[in-house]
Amino acid sequence: MERMLAFVVLLLLFPYACNSFLQGSLLLGTRWARWTGRSLATPARRLSSALNQELTCNVNVFSNFDETPVSENQIVIGTHDGAFHCDEALAISLLRLMPQFASSCVLRSRNPEVLQVRTAEVRSIAEVIQLTPFDLFISQKCDVVVDVGGVYDSTTYRYDHHQRSFTDTLDGFSTKLSSAGLIYKHFGRVILENYMNTASDGLSREEKNTMVDICYHKLYRSFVEHIDAIDNGITSAESEDIKCHMSTSLSARVGQLNPRWNQPQNSNIQNEQFTKALALTRSEFLTNVDEVIHSWYPAKSLVQQAVKKRFNTVDTDGQPIFASDGKIILLEQFCPWKDHLYEMEQQVSLFIVM
């Protein structure tokens, strides 16, 4: 009789065991695809689709797992609640530009229990049959945590910069990183490489790597670094004699999206405003990426050609050039030239006077 009863219980629990095993397998597969980038669709194709969407942010932002259940195979990005800043908004936007995180949701909280990073575990059938159906679900936690928690450890996907021991900078720069800089440091090259897929057609692998590296540092210098500096309280001028104040930076505009002191404030309102911050930082970043890849970088070759031709006695139309002593560099058309010319000044021993 006891054996018969045990057999019946096993039959009743078997569907739940199979379901949990399949969910665990999917979860493990999702984690593998997420961190290795080996998904069914190619990264370039999926990222291209994401970039062509309207500049809105269709993302689920919530404050409590109990209020907003999340499926086990959906990626959760955790950050702090309350007033938001540009650095975590940009950090999350950068993550969501990658195919692995494109459909992720955002948890805003300071509860250390829910801000833990979960790991994928597949329970064995033997373990499952000892649990009730209500125990078969893996506890809800985050997959990535940014700008909160006091931990920076890329191996466990925690990216905070507020701890006293944190002093990291991007290679070649002296500005302390914020959460935006941390995410850019670890994922910026991947984002750019996928985005510039069409712009680098015809280039060798080595040439493409050079292009990615140059654009990666240019984009940090011209866009991400000042967000790191502002969040860490670093001023752009060493002197206290500031001629004017800037109130239209991206950090300032994100800050203005927070509810005012004399407006209603609750987690739902703040989360709704945070989605606008995500849309804004995403739009600004992609605009700058497009400018760097399709305008700034192609101008490099024009400047190089102009420097090489500074000793020519005739131009392309056969007309004589009267300043053929190399003292005048003539650009055949307007382009973003300053950065490239300053770089070549060091490479070919130029002395530039403007």
Q: Which tops the pLDDT comparison, 102 or 320?
A: 102
- For the chain, the average pLDDT equals 78
Q: Across-strand partners of 176? A: 169
pLDDT per residue over 267-288, tens digit each?
999 999 999 999 999 999 999 9
* Most distant CA atoms of the chain, gap in Å: 109
Which residue in this structure is represented by tokens 């060493």?
238
158-159 β-sheet, strand order: 61-62, 105-108, 76-79, 144-146, 158-159, 152-153
pLDDT per residue over 41-61, tens digit each?
344 444 444 444 444 568 999
pLDDT of residue 53: 46
Mean pLDDT within 322-346: 75
Query: Phi and psi at residue 281, in whole multiples of 5°?
Result: -65, -35
pLDDT exceeds cutoff 60 at 223: yes
pLDDT per residue over 30-41, tens digit each?
443 444 443 433
Is residue 225 within 8 A of residue 90, CB to CB? The reply is: no
pLDDT of residue 10: 52
Q: What is the DSSP string of 179-206?
A: HHHHHHHHHHHHHHHHHTTTTTTT--HH
For residues 249 and 116, what is the distance between their CA atoms, to the nearest angstrom?
A: 33
Which residue in this structure is represented by tokens 């199979």?
18
pLDDT per residue over 151-203, tens digit each?
999 999 999 999 999 999 999 999 999 999 999 999 999 999 988 876 677 78
pLDDT of residue 304: 84
For residues 236 and 234, what is the distance between their CA atoms, to the nearest angstrom?
A: 7
pLDDT exceeds cutoff 90 at 237: no
pLDDT exceeds cutoff 60 at 244: yes
**Structure confidence at residue 308 as a pLDDT band (50, 70, 90):** confident
pLDDT exceeds cutoff 50 at 353: no
pLDDT exceeds cutoff 90 at 11: no
pLDDT exceeds cutoff 90 at 255: yes
Q: Which tops the pLDDT comparison, 72 or 89?
A: 89
pLDDT of residue 324: 57
Please give the C-alpha separations between residue 26 and each of 23, 31, 34, 71, 74, in angstroms, as whole numbers: 5, 9, 12, 11, 11
Q: CA torsion angle for 293, 294, 295, 297 (degrees, to 10)?
A: 40
Pick from 42-51, 249-258, 309-318: least confident: 42-51
pLDDT exceeds cutoff 70 at 228: yes
Q: Which tops the pLDDT comparison, 297 or 311?
A: 297
pLDDT of residue 349: 58
**Structure confidence at residue 339 as a pLDDT band (50, 70, 90):** confident
Q: What tokens does 347 get?
A: 């490479």
Please tell me the pTM assigned to this model.
0.75
Percent of the chain beyond pLDDT 70? 70
